């Protein structure tokens, strides 16, 4: 039985002097439409519904659910770390140096939450989002001059570039001694990292955002080159 | 037209001796309510609903349908190399028929899959650079590519022993029949090791 189309006239039942007998066809159609609605849904049982529930099918009936995921957008955010150092990517002790990640690639975004992707500064449409950023990233720092590097603090940050505000950040763990390198070589520091950043944020208007990987390099009078690579996944769930 | 908030009384219709003529106002209320429900939804088409689906708007056809495209039905899996193998972690909606090594057996339908993780290509001794050349979602049943999986080289050791790749990729694909789906790769490395997490949605 198909969903009803059209609206039933109440011309013969909207006045006190109207006689329902004359409205027989409309009364009949009302029954048919009500049956069609009930038939289309099967059974709906909203018992126990609470704020935030979704009407979902549980195998036998339509009922409120608190364990269904709503529409989301999933993007890759990445930056490749080539085999060679980019000689323009330099650091000096005390610096925080950074690289912007590029959005795009293989993604799913049916509702077009993001625009201007395939760039490092996409725009997200206004709304409240739960944002989860996770995945592997890595850095390599090479010291060309000065004394030893005494510490490296690697951080992934989500930034509102319209207001130059950091919305959230996650600092990955690196051993204080800078040991456990992937390739132990004097004056070279290579680490494979993981980031896991979750936040809820309200964008009151369409906002340009940026994902940035940064390294704060501690030492004294030292300098050198760095590179950052990342292959992160960013998931936007609009709530 | 807003959703009905007034129930139509059946006081003049619930006994055999009732006079329907006295139920005129209630009949009108009932018609108003039905009209309001129909107008609120526009059109609803529910076809063979399955566990976990929700009522989702289909803008292409201007109607509400039952669907998992809102991400309401998911299976959680892992994929690892050496040898390549899928493992089902959680599949409460029975999206996956079965798993046999690198073959994920799925019914005909449309799916989203989201992949994330790391893959390392390496040599046991320094030598030519080890590369992951291709990484694909593959239809084993028809021997055709489904899609290329996105990956980025995130690290390369100076001794040329290994490269590490970050995988982050999301795909929508449709299967016309029951199909084995695998992940395949090509490499010039001596070996490849990796672990991916996969979230599979049936839409």
HEC string for chain A = CCCCCCCCCCCCCCCCCCCHHHHHHHHHHHHHHHHHHHHHHCCECCCCCCCCCEEEECCCCEEEECCCCCCEEEEEEEECCCCCCCCCCEEECCCEEEEECEECCCCECCCCCEECCCCCCCEECCEEEEEEEEEEEEEEEEEEECCCCCEEEEEEEEEECCCCEEEEEEECCCCCCCCCCCCCECCEEEEEEEEEEEEEEEECCCEEEEEEEEEEEECCCCEEEEEEEEEEEEEEEEC
Q: Do A37 and B152 touch (CB under 8 A)?
A: no
Q: What is the ipTM of this complex?
A: 0.77
pLDDT band, residue A57 (cuts 50/70/90)? confident
How confident is the model over A41-62, as a mean pLDDT?
80
- For residue A218, give how far its alpha carbon lies from the nearest alpha carbon of chain B (Å): 22
Which of chain A's residues have a Cβ under 8 Å away from the Cβ of B127? none
Between A84 and B73, whose confidence is greater?
Answer: A84
Using DSSP's 3-state secondary structure scheme, residue B28 falls into helix
Q: Do B31 and A8 touch (CB under 8 A)?
A: yes
Q: Which residue of A has its CA nearest to B94?
A: A59
pLDDT band, residue A70 (cuts 50/70/90)? low
> What pLDDT digit, counting tens, does each position of A111-166 carry?
789 998 878 999 999 998 999 999 999 999 999 999 889 999 999 999 999 999 99
> Residue B125 phi/psi, 5° resolution?
-130, 150
Q: Which residue of A has its CA nearest to B172?
A: A108
> Is the Cβ of B148 closer than 8 Å to some Cβ of chain A?
yes
pLDDT recorded at residue A232? 96
What is chain B's mean pLDDT, rounded? 88
Between A96 and A71, whose confidence is greater?
Answer: A96
How confident is the model over B84-113, as a mean pLDDT?
93
Q: Do A3 and B45 touch (CB under 8 A)?
A: yes
Mutating which of B12, B24, B112 best tests the A interface, going by the most A Cβ atoms within 10 A?
Answer: B24
How confident is the model over A91-114, as a mean pLDDT?
92
Query: β-pairing, B96-100 with B103-106?
Result: antiparallel
Residue B1 has pLDDT above 70, yes or no: no
Contact by Cβ (8 Å): B182, B149: no
How confident is the model over A89-112, as a mean pLDDT?
92
Contact by Cβ (8 Å): B28, B6: no
Task: Identify the weakest region by mean pLDDT among A40-44, A88-92, B68-72, B170-174.
Answer: B68-72
Q: Do A71 and B71 touch (CB under 8 A)?
A: yes
The number of C-beta contacts closer than 8 angstroms across A and B is: 204
pLDDT recorded at residue A48? 79
Using DSSP's 3-state secondary structure scheme, residue B177 falls into coil
Residue A52 has pLDDT above 90, yes or no: no
The Cα A105–Cα B48 span in angstroms is 34
Bond preceding residue A133 cis, omega within 30 of 0 = no
Q: CATH: 1.10.150, 2.60.40, 2.20.28, 2.60.120. Which one for A72-238?
A: 2.60.120
* Cα-Cα end-to-end distance for chain A: 34
What is chain A's mean pLDDT, rounded? 88
Domain boundaries, chain A: 1-68, 72-238
Closest alpha carbon to A111 in A121, A98, A126: A126
Q: What is the residue whose two structure tokens read 């890595």? A: A138
Please give the domain boundaries of chain B with CATH numbers for all domains: 20-67 (no CATH), 74-202 (2.60.120.40)
pLDDT band, residue B106 (cuts 50/70/90)? very high
How confident is the model over A50-64, as a mean pLDDT?
79
The Cα A78–Cα A109 span in angstroms is 17
> Is the Cβ of B116 closer than 8 Å to some Cβ of chain A?
yes
* Count of other CB atoms within 10 angstroms of residue A123: 18
How confident is the model over A174-189, as a mean pLDDT?
78
Closest alpha carbon to A117 in A131, A129, A127, A106: A106
> What pLDDT digit, counting tens, does each position of B15-48 carry?
778 887 788 888 888 888 888 888 888 888 889 8
Which of chain B's residues have a Cβ under 8 Å away from the Cβ of A71? 69-71
pLDDT band, residue B69 (cuts 50/70/90)? low
- Please indicate, yes or no, whether the overall pTM of this predicted structure exceeds 0.90: no
Q: Considering CB atoms only, which of A14, A106, A192 is closest to B164?
A: A192
pLDDT recorded at residue A238? 80
Q: Write the DSSP symbol of residue A2.
A: P
> Is the Cβ of B50 closer than 8 Å to some Cβ of chain A?
yes
Residue A82 has pLDDT above 70, yes or no: yes
């Amino acid at each position: 039985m198909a969903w009803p189309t059209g609206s039933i006239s109440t011309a013969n039942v909207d006045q006190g002097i109207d006689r329902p007998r004359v409205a027989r066809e409309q009364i009949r159609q009302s029954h048919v439409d009500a049956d069609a609605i009930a038939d289309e849904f099967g059974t709906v049982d909203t018992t126990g519904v609470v704020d935030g529930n979704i009407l979902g099918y549980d195998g036998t009936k339509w009922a409120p659910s608190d364990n269904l995921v709503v529409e989301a957008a999933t993007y890759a955010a990445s930056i490749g770390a080539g085999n060679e150092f980019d000689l323009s990517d330099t650091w000096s002790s005390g610096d925080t140096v950074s690289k912007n990640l590029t959005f795009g690639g293989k993604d799913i975004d049916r509702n077009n939450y993001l625009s201007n992707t395939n760039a490092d500064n996409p725009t997200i449409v206004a709304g409240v989002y739960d944002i989860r950023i996770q995945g592997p990233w890595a850095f390599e720092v090479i010291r060309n001059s000065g004394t030893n590097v005494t510490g490296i603090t690697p951080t992934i940050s989500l930034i509102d570039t319209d207001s130059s505000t950091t919305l959230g950040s996650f600092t990955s763990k690196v051993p204080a001694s800078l040991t456990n390198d992937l390739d132990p070589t004097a004056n070279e520091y290579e680490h494979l990292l993981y980031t896991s950043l979750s936040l809820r944020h309200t964008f009151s208007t369409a906002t340009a955002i940026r994902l940035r990987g940064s390294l704060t390099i501690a030492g004294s009078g030292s300098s050198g080159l760095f590179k950052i690579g990342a292959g992160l996944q960013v998931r936007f769930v609009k709530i | 037209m807003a959703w009905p908030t007034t129930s139509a009384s059946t006081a003049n219709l619930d006994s055999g001796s009732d006079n329907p003529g006295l139920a005129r106002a209630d009949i009108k209320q009932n018609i108003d309510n039905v009209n309001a429900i129909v107008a609120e939804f526009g059109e609803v088409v529910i076809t063979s609903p399955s566990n976990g689906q929700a009522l989702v708007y289909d803008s292409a056809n201007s109607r509400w349908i039952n669907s998992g495209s809102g991400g309401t039905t998911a299976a959680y899996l892992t994929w690892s190399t050496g040898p390549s193998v899928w493992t089902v972690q959680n599949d409460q909606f029975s999206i996956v028929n079965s798993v046999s090594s690198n073959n994920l057996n799925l019914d005909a339908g449309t799916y989203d899959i989201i992949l994330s993780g790391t893959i390392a290509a390496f040599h046991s001794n320094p030598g030519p650079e080890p590369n992951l050349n291709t990484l694909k979602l593959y239809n084993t049943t028809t021997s055709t590519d489904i899609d290329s999986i996105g990956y980025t080289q995130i690290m390369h050791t100076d001794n040329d022993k290994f490269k590490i790749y970050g995988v982050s990729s999301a795909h929508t694909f449709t299967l016309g029949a029951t199909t084995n789906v695998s992940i395949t790769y090509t490499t010039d490395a001596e070996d490849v090791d990796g672990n991916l997490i996969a979230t599979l949605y049936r839409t």
